[in-house]
A and B are shown apart, each in its own frame.
Chain A
Amino acid sequence: MSVITKHTLSPEKWVQSYSDYLYNYTITRVNNDDLAKDLVQETFFAGLKSMKNFQGKASERTWLISILKRKIIDHYRKINSTKGKAEVRMNFYKDGENEGQWIEERAPNSWASDADKNIENTELKHTLEDCIDHLPEKYSMVFKMKTIQGFETEEICKELDITASNLWVIIHRARTQLRRCMEDNWFNN
């Protein structure tokens, strides 16, 4: 004989019990403090609103995370719509006989031969941070999930509802833009 425990909800304890967990989950994905706090708050509010739909099959925490996941996808969709598209600078010709080739003034320049020294330098990390902050939000979100947080490609695709080839195009654009930014502000500065 087995006893199935039915989970219950105690919203009065949510903030105390889960806010750190939800915040941590969010910040590794959106990497913006204010936005992460907002999403956590929205998750609690949405949870409260839909308490009657809770069936007790999952734990309270799992249930709240599933709500938060929707919030993150919604956010990604929002930044993926028209706004984010025009911001990234093109590095390659989009059409014509030179399609796919480097645009001359955007092509890489050579770096000093000692460029690989001092890569643990704090100043360099600040420069990198600035460069990441200058990426359009959609690019920085995917880039950070993949590169900084080390998520699997499959997981990012699932969470943000994008295809793998979509992901690589975004990573490619983010990295070419970062390369350029680091060249201008660090390596050849």
Chain B
Amino acid sequence: MSKLFISCDEATTICDKNQYGEASLYDKLRLNLHFLRCKICRMYTKQNTLLTKIFGGYAEEQCAKNRCLTTEDKKKLESEFQKKLK
């Protein structure tokens, strides 16, 4: 089992993982222990949670976009491809 006391680098890695709900219980325990003695990482976590919200809003917007090739793109692709077919 990996160590109980972790560095800021490791703590913030766990914090990032936790933003996706994928940190283990042991990870969360280590993270909270780290918070007891590190104000900066506590702040990082708070900011990170806000960023996750912002990323989420952006993601929704992106996924709503219908991503297709334009007719022009297809024509270009078709003509390149026809050359190869011959």
Contacts and interface: CB of A to CB of B under 8 A. Distances in A.
Asked if A and B are interacting partners, one says yes
The majority secondary structure among interface residues of chain A is helix
Contacts of A175: 16, 19, 48, 51
**Interface size, A (range):** 35 or more
Nearest to A20: B68
B43 A110 contact: yes
A39 to B, nearest CB: 12
Given A16-B78, A44-B81, A108 B47 contact: yes
A40 B16 CA distance: 33
A188 to B, nearest CB: 11
Nearest to B61: A125
Given A148-B58, A172-B12, A41 B50 contact: no
Nearest to A98: B7
Contacts of B6: 100
A54 interface: no
Contact of B69 (A20, A91, A124): A20
10 A-B pairs with least C-beta separation = A100-B7, A92-B9, A100-B9, A172-B13, A15-B78, A148-B59, A172-B16, A20-B68, A175-B16, A23-B69
Interface of A: 11-12, 14-16, 19-20, 23-24, 27-28, 37, 40-41, 44-45, 48, 91-92, 99-102, 107-108, 110-111, 115-116, 119-120, 124-125, 128-129, 146-150, 153, 168-169, 171-172, 175-176, 178-179, 182-183
